[in-house]
Chain A
Amino acid sequence: MSELSYEEARAELAAVVEKLEAGGTTLEESLALWERGEKLADTCQRWLDGARTRLDTARTERAADPG
């Protein structure tokens, strides 16, 4: 799952939510969809957290060494 890019994960997440909202799935399917959605959302969040860390690190380095 971690090999998904942020955009791929987000697109799939949106699709999963749409499917869940549309209904018409069995309970088993709904649960599986929800679990998938949670995983995808976690992947997205990991990407965003990583990006923010990199941004903050770059800024800190910049502040420490204004060359």
Chain B
Amino acid sequence: MTEPENGKSTPEQPWPVRVVSQKLGAWIGRLGWVWVDGQLAQINRRPGTQVVFLTLRDPSADLSLTVTAHRDVLDLGAPNLSEGARVVLHAKPEFFPARGTLSLRADEIRQVGLGELLARIERLKKLLAAEGLFDPRRKRRPPFLPHRIGLITGRASAAERDVLTNARRRWPAVQFRVINVAVQGSGAVPQMIDALAVLDKDPDTDVIILARGGGSVEDLLPFSDEALCRAVFACGTPVISAIGHEPDTPLVDFVADLRASTPTDAARRAVPDLAEERQRIAQARTRLARAAAGLLDREQHRLDAIRSRPSLARPELMIEGRAADVDALRQRAARCLAHRLAAGADELSHTMARLRALSPAATLQRGYAIVQRPDGAVVRAPDQVTKGDPLRVRLAGGELAATVAES
């Protein structure tokens, strides 16, 4: 049995188990006493022994450590400790060479009260808000009609049933990909984070609902977990949170893209109501048809109005108007001519009267006579004729020839 001199192991000089074990123990012992924050996953009080075995988990990750404590330590610091409780303990890592196992030996255990937990959540809330995780501008709108809804919820839970039933009632063809997880207690957070990652990677899942029914404040603690909040924030797919009842507001509600008050509300927000949408489309269609028909009717009226204007409807008017003009002119011409004829006749009768007034007939009637030479000249004095000249004597009753007997 030779101890290695220079602290180096070689194939020729491998370390015996006890040496490795002893060195491990020394390394582990170097950490010394530390204060640890964790969640109790298991308590094992073995009858007849003074040592209690605890399994301490990280609430946000799938990690655990075994803790041993003297029964007195437990009774003193956290007498009513139960599984799921949040604890702070003062412990030192110990290596057990006999089985090669590692555990923490605690000499003080304090249960973290609800008040302290809520105060921690308040501090975390301020921190996350300051980092912008609650920023409304960072929130994405879930799709109007998702291809597939990812649902993270407890197995056979009322929340699962509420979401599925209500979503299917609104939109019967809705598709779900459900991942059942623990929604409370240790393991809840890592399972939910894993489920988020799986659904976020699924290209067909375009909205994720994180749902849980009502529960005590302690039951809802995982939904205020920092790691979960950060995972929801980092998720590329819009997340709808539906945790507990209306007044419950775990931190994940602030981070989620949409906060539903209940699982039923989440279903309502995730899918549209088919009947309602159909009705809207039908209404829109009716209005569309009515508008189109109305437009046609209006245009028909306009066209009818134009066509009924006399200039279009009674083209004969333009001919009739002109025919009337021609008629009028014709009548004017006729009237004008008749007038001229009457005037002519009038003038003629006047002239005739004057002619009659100038005629010698009336004088001849009284017995006078007109004596004319053969050349037609009227004889007015005796010296105008000589003896033997022939004369014509015009009487009222006719003419007679005469000869000058003596001058």
Q: Which listed residue (B292, B306, B315) contacts A13, Cβ 8 A?
A: B306
Contacts of B303 in A (CB 8 A): 10, 13, 41, 44-45, 48
Within 8 A of B (CB), among A19-64: 20-21, 27, 30-31, 34, 37-38, 41, 44-45, 48, 51-52, 55, 58-59, 62
B204 interface residue, CB < 8 Å from A? no
Across the interface, do A55 and B306 meet the contact criterion of CB distance under 8 Å? no
In angstroms, Cα B315 to Cα A27, docked, is 11
In angstroms, Cα B129 to Cα A37, docked, is 74
Across the interface, do B318 and A55 meet the contact criterion of CB distance under 8 Å? no
Across the interface, do B318 and A6 meet the contact criterion of CB distance under 8 Å? no
What's the interface size class on B, roughly?
A: 10 to 19
Q: Given known contacts A55-B293, A55-B296, is B309 in contact with A21 (CB within 8 Å)?
A: yes
Q: Which listed residue (B289, B302, B307) contacts A59, Cβ 8 A?
A: B289
Q: Given known contacts A13-B306, A34-B318, A41-B312, is B285 in contact with A6 (CB within 8 Å)?
A: no
Across the interface, do B296 and A62 meet the contact criterion of CB distance under 8 Å? no
Across the interface, do A34 and B300 meet the contact criterion of CB distance under 8 Å? no
Contacts of B285 in A (CB 8 A): 62
A17 interface residue, CB < 8 Å from B? yes
Contacts of B312 in A (CB 8 A): 17, 20, 34, 37-38, 41
Q: B307 CB to closest chain A CB, in angstroms?
A: 5
Across the interface, do B299 and A17 meet the contact criterion of CB distance under 8 Å? no
Q: Given known contacts A55-B292, A59-B289, is B311 in contact with A21 (CB within 8 Å)?
A: yes
Q: B198 CB to closest chain A CB, in angstroms?
A: 36
| A residues contacting the other copy or chain, number (CB 8 A) | 23
Across the interface, do B306 and A30 meet the contact criterion of CB distance under 8 Å? no
Across the interface, do B299 and A6 meet the contact criterion of CB distance under 8 Å? yes
Contacts of A62 in B (CB 8 A): 285
Q: Given known contacts A10-B303, A27-B322, A45-B303, is B293 in contact with A17 (CB within 8 Å)?
A: no
A14 interface residue, CB < 8 Å from B? yes
In angstroms, Cα B90 to Cα A5, docked, is 90
Contacts of A30 in B (CB 8 A): 318
Q: Smallest CB-CB separation from B309: which chain A residue?
A: A17
Contacts of B322 in A (CB 8 A): 27
In angstroms, Cα B306 to Cα A34, docked, is 12
Interface centre among B289, B311, B315, B319 (most CB of A within 10 A): B311
Q: Smallest CB-CB separation from A66: which chain B residue?
A: B282
In angstroms, Cα B85 to Cα A6, docked, is 81
In angstroms, Cα B303 to Cα A6, docked, is 11
In angstroms, Cα B322 to Cα A44, docked, is 30
Q: Which listed residue (A13, A17, A52) contacts B296, Cβ 8 A?
A: A52
In angstroms, Cα B118 to Cα A57, docked, is 67
Within 8 A of A (CB), among B313-347: 315, 318-319, 322
Q: A15 CB to closest chain B CB, in angstroms?
A: 11
Q: Smallest CB-CB separation from A7: which chain B residue?
A: B299
In angstroms, Cα B299 to Cα A38, docked, is 17
In angstroms, Cα B309 to Cα A6, docked, is 19
In angstroms, Cα B281 to Cα A62, docked, is 13
Contacts of A21 in B (CB 8 A): 309, 311
In angstroms, Cα B302 to Cα A14, docked, is 10
Across the interface, do B315 and A55 meet the contact criterion of CB distance under 8 Å? no
Q: Smallest CB-CB separation from B289: which chain A residue?
A: A59
Q: A12 CB to closest chain B CB, in angstroms?
A: 11
Contacts of A55 in B (CB 8 A): 289, 292-293, 296
Q: B313 CB to closest chain A CB, in angstroms?
A: 10
In angstroms, Cα B317 to Cα A34, docked, is 11
Across the interface, do A20 and B311 meet the contact criterion of CB distance under 8 Å? yes
Q: Given known contacts A10-B303, A17-B309, A41-B307, is B315 in contact with A34 (CB within 8 Å)?
A: yes
Chain B residues at the A interface, C-beta cutoff of 8 Å: 285, 289, 292-293, 296, 299-300, 302-303, 306-307, 309, 311-312, 315, 318-319, 322
